[in-house]
Amino acid sequence: MIEVSNIEKSFNGTPVLKGISCVFESGKCNLLLGGSGTGKSVLLQCIVGLMKPDIGSITFDGTVYTNSKIDIRQEIRRKIGMLFQGSALFDSMTVAQNVEFPLQMLTPEMSPEERRERVEFCLKRVGLEKAGDKMPAEISGGMKKRVGIARAIAPQCTYLFCDEPNSGLDPATSIKIDELIHEITHEYNITTVIVTHDMNSVIEIGEHIIFLHQGKKLWDGTKDEILNATVPELREFIFSSSLVRAAKRVDEETEGGMAAFAEESESGGGI
Amino acid sequence: MLTTLGSFVLFLRGMVTRTERFRVLWNRTIDEAILIGVDSIVIVSIVSAFIGAVTCVQIAYNLTNPLIPQSTIGYMVREMTILELAPTITSIVLAGKVGSSIAGGLGTMRITEQISALEVMGINSTSYLVLPRILAALLMFPMLVILAMLLSILGGYLAGTLTGVMTAQDYIEGIRTDFIPYNIVFALIKATVFAFLVSGISAFKGYFTTGGALEVGAASTGAVTNSIIAILIADFALAALLL
């Protein structure tokens, strides 16, 4: 579990995060939802330690991360896996070498044979067992995301952070990536935090959703609760999605479209 | 200016605190030494051989006084090569080739979040990416300068004898006259200082790139120009201090 307490962050005097407090639960897909420029990615970068918040604290399973000693921060960082928006694969390495890299660096006690087995396992888990010898430039955007996930889970991370995992992907591939993240979260009981503005992801895998608006947390709840939320900014955000608008229109016309929509997503059938 | 200098010092300090394991550092340094050193042999060889040849022909052109022995040409080629041309011109060539490569490589890694990926993994990115590049440059620049010295003097020999401006015997006599071994030491000190400046400045410019492809190009250009200016200032300072 990750606890974020009263985080504030400004850039050149402009506040971007304004006292955000929230909890990301273990074994769940926690979604940071909001429009562009609402501070989602900044909050994520503060949590993983790429940025230092001006005020506030972040706790990983009871261990305070912010302002703690470098050894403690390093120990926590080694439990973190992250999927970047652009995948951030090392372009001088093959797919297999990318997945092996954190093992080489973080677990020197593993033998080369053990590392190879782990790489094969992780690549198989994300469905890329035959792509190990390819270079990142030779694979598609969706495959890059899968490699990013494999690299994140290779050292058996406890916390998985995903920065807009669906950006630049077609809807079908997006759903597959969402499903993969969801499966991995439950399979390994990982605390997963996903930054997104994609309502498809909310409906697919949003077990715990935190809505940010203009640097503030305005709402949190589950995907079942979000459609009935009364916060005007959240409703405006949700119904700006053409997919949700279409479902709402069907709901109004057939008296039950939204319910069917929610039931469909609940049963895992997708949209 | 002072802020940049302070950031540069902090950048270098971050590189040597929390270094990676020795084996990782060693492997990375060898990889970079191949890129910086081995891959630069051809360009350094061509530049230094022709500079030696041109120096020889131009000195011969200017030395028309019959009272000055022909062996002076060989002597002057040797002195100019060892003291100035080999270390400085080689380093300027390497600033263009290696400096832009270091800045461009690190800048691309920065804007594609590869450096962030290393940081999230708990790896000290400056220690992993920058320290091996600087160590490799410190190792390879002096070796390339020694190669440049040899090829430049050889280029002078070939140019002098093939064009008929002097005999081989005069040239060899000239390059053996009044040889001061300290000049070699001075040239290698210069090469080491230039190696640090080129690799350090280029890594600094690349590592702190922000923005996109345009800024990576600007970082590479900035790395080369700043490195060359730093080489010339250091060249003067070292000559004033050590000669």
- Burial zone of A130 (CB within 10 Å; 0-12 exposed, 13-18 middle, 19+ buried): exposed
For B112, nearest residue in chain A (alpha carbons): A88
Distance CA A249, CA A254 (A): 8
Average the pLDDT over A210-228 and give the result: 89
What pLDDT score does A235 carry? Answer: 87
From the list A191, A164, A179, the residue with the least C-alpha distance to A62 is: A191
Q: What is the number of structural domains in chain B? A: 1
Measured between CB atoms, does A71 come within 8 Å of chain B? no
Distance CA A241, CA A247 (A): 10
Measured between CB atoms, does A48 come within 8 Å of chain B? yes
Does the residue B9 lie in any domain? no
What pLDDT score does A260 carry? Answer: 54
Sort out which chain B residues have CB atoms less than 8 A from A102's CB and list them: 121
Bridge pairing between strands A80-83 and A159-163: parallel
A interface test, pick of B21, B35, B113, B216 with most A CB neighbours within 10 Å: B113
Distance CA B185, CA B243 (A): 11
Does the residue B132 lie in any domain? yes
pLDDT in tens, A70-97: 888 888 888 999 999 888 999 999 999 9
Does the residue B3 lie in any domain? no
Measured between CB atoms, does A210 come within 8 Å of chain B? no
For B108, nearest residue in chain A (alpha carbons): A91
What percentage of residues in chain B have a pLDDT greater than 90?
87
What percentage of residues in chain B have a pLDDT greater than 70?
100
Does the residue B95 lie in any domain? yes
B interface test, pick of A50, A52, A109, A153 with most B CB neighbours within 10 Å: A50
Measured between CB atoms, does B242 come within 8 Å of chain A? no
Mean pLDDT, chain B, integer: 94
**The CATH homologous superfamily of the domain defined by A1-79+162-223:** P-loop containing nucleotide triphosphate hydrolases (3.40.50.300)
pLDDT in tens, A223-270: 888 888 888 888 888 877 666 666 667 766 765 555 555 555 545 443
Q: Is A189 helix (H, G, I), strand (E, B) or coil?
A: coil
Q: What is the pTM of this model?
A: 0.86
Range of the domain at B32: 20-242
Distance CA B89, CA B66 (A): 32
CB B15 within 8 A of CB B122: no
pLDDT in tens, A163-202: 998 888 888 888 888 998 999 999 889 999 999 988 888 8
Average the pLDDT over A1-7 and give the result: 92
CB B57 within 8 A of CB B160: yes
Q: Work out the end-to-end distance of chain B between its first and last CA atoms, rounded to an integer number of angstroms.
A: 29
Q: Does this complex have an ipTM over 0.85?
A: no
From the list A175, A185, A188, A230, the residue with the least C-alpha distance to A208 is: A185
Measured between CB atoms, does B27 come within 8 Å of chain A? no
Mean pLDDT, chain A, integer: 86
Q: What are phi and psi of B151, to 5 degrees?
A: -70, -30
Q: Where in chain A is the domain with CATH 3.40.50.300?
A: 1-79+162-223
Cβ-nearest to A84 among B21, B108, B113: B113
Sort out which chain B residues have CB atoms less than 8 A from A89's CB and list them: 114
Q: Say if the Cβ atoms of B113 and A85 lie within 8 Å.
A: yes
Q: Cβ contacts of residue A16 below 8 Å, gap of 6+?
A: A9, A10, A39, A42, A215
Average the pLDDT over B110-114 and give the result: 94
Does the residue B60 lie in any domain? yes
* Contacts with A, B 136-195, CB within 8 Å: none
Measured between CB atoms, does B9 come within 8 Å of chain A? no
What pLDDT score does A74 carry? Answer: 83
> Which residues are registered as beta bridge partners of A147?
none
